[in-house]
Structure 1
Amino acid sequence: MESYNYIDPRAEIIDQIQGDERLLWADKPATGIKFRSTDIFITLFSIFWLGFSVFWVYMALDASIFFALFGTPFILVGLYLLFGRYFFDALSRKNTVYGLTNKRIIKKSGLFKVHYKSVFLDTLPSLSYTEKPDGSGDINFGHTLGSFKNSKDINKSDFPLVRIEFIQNVRSVHNKIADAKSKVRSNEEKLETKW
């Protein structure tokens, strides 16, 4: 990492800290082009889409140039699906920072303007992680379909942060989140017993 280009992730998230919050962890996801397991299906579909679009435009050239031009947007969509989305994803991760406080998880992201999303630990749904051999990985948050079905009060917009992706030392970060979550829950239980 080049030191003249390095910005401490804590410095990028510290302005979002409120009141008695303490920043426990902050980091950026890995940069560059990354592949997810779901990319195989999208890539296969993209190849089919792009191939069919090119074939259609080629065949339409016999009918009329205007008819062939109609297929150009479909070729552009195919090119984006096959190549462009990887570059867009890499650019957006370059500007992404994750933070954990004693009360919530914060995500800073955005290409053209800054977006902040938060999930409070007391409302945090189930927590799981996947770890690669090098210790990096993803942390996933989410309710099961059954919990959405059985609860009238759950609003999907309450959980805007679905996962923390491509971070180093994922097990350590997962444990920090789980520990902070349990401390928030135990503090809530203490307050409830006082009443």
Structure 2
Amino acid sequence: MVDPHLLLPGEKLLWQGQPAPGLRFEAKDALLSLFGCFFFGFSLFWEYQAYNMGAPVSFQIFGLPFIAVGAYLVILRYFWEAYERGKTTYVLTDKRAIISIDGLRRRQNTVTLASVDELTFEEKSSDLGTIVFGRDVKTGSGKSQRTSYAPRFKFIPAAKRVYQLADGARIKSIEA
């Protein structure tokens, strides 16, 4: 059930839902996971060598944060993302798209549909998909290049129907 405080006066609820539960893998995960395997493997090798060579305790402890980062890159981030998806609610109204996450800290992202210049539908599997509200923006160049990702409803069931609702509401709000 949607929190009534999320809706503005006169705003009409069109759809609400949550992302599909469970572990999800995307194409973008492959490179980061591959790097994580090397990072994690080297960190374990470091610790093993430091322990077996009788290195000082401070030298052995030095590698522990790297093991933690490697474990996160290879495996733990998938569980963290699944946890966050379980705490995420998506709301589509006739004027806005709202992403609300009640994880360790409460976050909310609101997109006014009239300000969305591009609405994209990405089909993930038979019924699941992602709706992107706007464009991803890349800034900088070379090694300092960064990407600001547009807000999105990720891994939602019946995504094509929700996309059609969102696009219709976006067109009506632009014309108004």
Say which of 47, 68, 74 aligns to 1:76: 68
Please give the alpha-carbon distance, in whole angstroms, between the structure 2 residues aligned to 1:32 and 1:144: 25
Query: What is the aligned-residue identity percentage?
Result: 34
Residues 1:171 and 2:160 are matched in the alignment? yes
Equivalent residue number for residue 115 of structure 1: 107
> Deviations for 1:19-59, whole angstroms, at most 9, x for unmatched residues?
11000111111011111111111110110000011111222
> Deviations for 1:46-99, whole angstroms, at most 9, x for unmatched residues?
100000111112222313332121111101111111111111111111111101
SS at match of 2:133: strand
Say which of 180, 183, 186 aligns to 2:172: 183
* Larger relative helix fraction: 1
> Deviations for 1:151-181, whole angstroms, at most 9, x for unmatched residues?
xxxxxxxx98521101011111111111001
> Deviations for 1:125-171, whole angstroms, at most 9, x for unmatched residues?
3111111442211111233659x9xxxxxxxxxx9852110101111
Please give the alpha-carbon distance, in whole angstroms, between the structure 2 residues aligned to 1:165 and 1:118: 15
Contact 2:130–2:154, Cα closer than 8 Å, also in 1: yes
Gaps of 5+ in 2: 140-147
Gaps of 5+ in 1: 1-10, 149-158, 188-195
Contact 1:13–1:26, Cα closer than 8 Å, also in 2: no
The 5-angstrom pairing of residues 96-175 of structure 1 reads 96-143=88-135, 162-175=151-164
Please give the alpha-carbon distance, in whole angstroms, between the structure 1 residues aligned to 2:100 and 2:129: 19
Residue type matched to 1:79 in 2? Answer: A
> Deviations for 1:87-126, whole angstroms, at most 9, x for unmatched residues?
1111111111101111100111031243221000111131
Change in CA separation of 1:53 and 1:83 when aligned onto 2, cut-off 3 Å: same
Change in CA separation of 1:75 and 1:133 when aligned onto 2, cut-off 3 Å: closer
Please give the alpha-carbon distance, in whole angstroms, between the structure 1 residues aligned to 2:125 and 2:103: 31
Contact 2:128–2:159, Cα closer than 8 Å, also in 1: yes
Please give the alpha-carbon distance, in whole angstroms, between the structure 1 residues aligned to 2:81 and 2:136: 27
Residue type matched to 1:77 in 2? Answer: V
* Larger relative strand fraction: 2
Could you tell me how far 1:185 is from its partner in structure 2?
1.1
Equivalent residue number for residue 5 of structure 1: none
TM-score in terms of structure 2 length:
0.86
Change in CA separation of 1:90 and 1:27 when aligned onto 2, cut-off 3 Å: same
